[in-house]
Structure 1
Amino acid sequence: MTPEPFAPELRSERLVLSAYVAADEAEFVALFQDDAVGRWFGEGMQSAEENRALFARLFSIVYAERRFPVWAVRHNGRYAGHAEIKPSPEPWLDGHEIVYGLSRDSWGLGLGTELAGLLTDYGHRTLGLAEVHATVDAQNTPSITVLKRLGYTQGREVREDHGGTTLQFTSRAEAPRP
């Protein structure tokens, strides 16, 4: 028996985030193989074989051990991207971060802002996080624009071994009103 994925369905005006199913593998791999998208995830571009192994680990480790929510993003019933909120793997960042990416055919529709907003809201309201972070390559202008639009503030700049710079952004939950 397969354990229930640790990814409750989330909905916004135009997006549905749901746990991955086996049939999503080809689209997941295609998303991560698209250089315009895949270069911004984790360590950057990986082989298709490594992406398939990552997809398999979503089921065998992430969902099975209920580590953190990971979602397939759907727009108009079609696969449109990837999203997650997880404890940050960065040693210099204590807390949870959002991770998201949309397929090229989903660009320019405002879905990035809608998606990042949905993840941020989930982090603050559902998980009760006072801070939600995002780490972004300094060259990823569209993602930086999305985060700033949502009220994230830029914090630390980290120079990476490969010569690039990673920027930390933080959303702080509003204090409850008396």
Structure 2
Amino acid sequence: MILELHTNRLMLRKMELSDSARLFEIWSDPEVTRFMNIEPFTNEDQAKQMIALLDNLAKENQAIRYSIIESESNTIIGSCGFNALDFENAKAEIGYDLHKDYWGKGYIPEALSCLIEYAFHGLNLHRIEAKVEPENVNSIKVLKKLHFTYEGTLRQSEKSKGKFTDLNLYSLLATD
């Protein structure tokens, strides 16, 4: 698994424990976590635990999460990665988040384009999936911009923050 990827403005680096303070700042913001399946974090230890969990999944080739670093400032501005890797079926599910100060500047499409390229050409995957709450219009715009196809709504598919939530399923194939 490649630990570092680059774009024009970004470096995607496998998450490290030393990223916890900045990721806590991002994951403690209710606006950022609104459509994530976590409650806003209340202390940095939660970020450290999340990074450790993701690191264990990466060691088992089940997932990998990258810190998104703005190259010019060397600042962590979010994270993205493969929430689930299924090599047997040549597919992965992607996820992403971004500090709200960086919303609307094209960072997520840029980071995801790099991740998609790696998935199809580095990992030889065939399918990438994204599950998005129907109300998360900005995330849906990103997926449409990247030519993901809407496949349907998974009704009350996931329990998040104490309630069952619908998720829209989007996919991108290597042959698209």
TM bracket, shorter-chain basis: 0.7 to 0.9
Identity %: 24
Partner residue in 2 for 1:24: 19
Q: 1:63 to 1:133 in 2, by over 3 A?
A: closer
- Which of 75, 80, 98 lines up with 1:78 in the alignment? 75
Instruction: For residues 25-70 of structure 1, give each alpha carbon's deviation from its aligned partner in whole angstroms, at most 9, with x where no partner exists.
Output: 11111211111112322x23154354432123234x1344443321
Question: Which one of the candidate residues 122, 134, 138 is aligned to 2:134?
Answer: 138
Contact 1:7 1:69 in 2 (8 A): no
Structure 1, unaligned stretches of length 5 or more?
Answer: 1-5
Letter of the structure 1 residue corresponding to residue 64 of structure 2: P
- Matching of residue 38 in structure 1 with residue 33 in structure 2: yes
* Amino acid corresponding to residue 98 of structure 1 in structure 2: I
Question: Compared with structure 1, are the counterparts of its residues 140 and 79 closer, same or farther at alpha carbon in structure 2 (3 Å cutoff)?
Answer: same
1:68 aligned onto 2:63: yes
- The TM-score, its normalising length taken from structure 1, stands at 0.81
- Alpha-carbon RMSD: 2.4
Partners in 2 of 1:141 and 1:120 — Cα distance? 21
Whichever structure has more strand as a proportion of its residues is 2
User: What runs of 5+ residues in structure 2 fail to find an aligned partner?
Assistant: none
Deviations 1:89-127 (A, max 9, x none): 9xxxx9411111111111121111111211222111111
Number of corresponding residues: 165
CA contact (8 A) 1:135 1:167 kept: yes
Given that residues 138 and 164 in structure 1 are in contact (C-alpha distance below 8 angstroms), is that contact kept between their aligned partners in structure 2?
A: no
Letter in 2 for 1:39: R
Matched, 1:12 2:4: no
Measure how far apart 1:12 and its partner are.
Answer: 0.9
State the Cα distance separating 1:163 from its structure 2 match.
4.7
